[in-house]
Amino acid sequence: AQRVTQPEKLLSVFKGAPVELKCNYSYSGSPELFWYVQYSRQRLQLLLRHISRESIKGFTADLNKGETSFHLKKPFAQEEDSAMYYCAHPPRSRSGGYQKVTFGTGTKLQVIP
């Protein structure tokens, strides 16, 4: 089955330290991948997607097809980055379109002051 894996349930870093949240995917081809974030007491929201190649709140994520990874990175963590982060992908259906979207199990980022 096509899936994404987030190996870390919890990642604790000190403020100002670099952050890397891992996401690996299991299928070949051209995936469409996303990172979503859920801050405390807020709804889930899109952080970034690989096709836009943008940086949001200092975070970037590069698709590495060789390693089948889409790790989320930030050079200097801030306290406000503490949140739950989910990697997600909409696998292609047999008809070729995208339908259901599945998520990894999530990584809780804790930034220590």
Partner 1 sequence: DAGITQSPRHKVTETGTPVTLRCHQTENHRYMYWYRQDPGHGLRLIHYSYGVKDTDKGEVSDGYSVSRSKTEDFLLTLESATSSQTSVYFCAISAGAPGANVLTFGAGSRLTVL
Tell whether residue 9 is a contact of partner 1 (CB under 8 A).
yes
Tell whether residue 94 is a contact of partner 1 (CB under 8 A).
no
Q: Do 31 and 63 meet the contact criterion of CB atoms below 8 Å apart?
A: yes
Write the interaction track for partner 1 spanning residues 34-73; mark x where CB under 8 A is met and - where it is not: x-x------xxxx--x-x----------------------
Q: What does the binding site for partner 1 look like in residue numbers (CB under 8 A)?
A: 6, 9, 32, 34, 36, 43-46, 49, 51, 86, 88, 90, 97-106
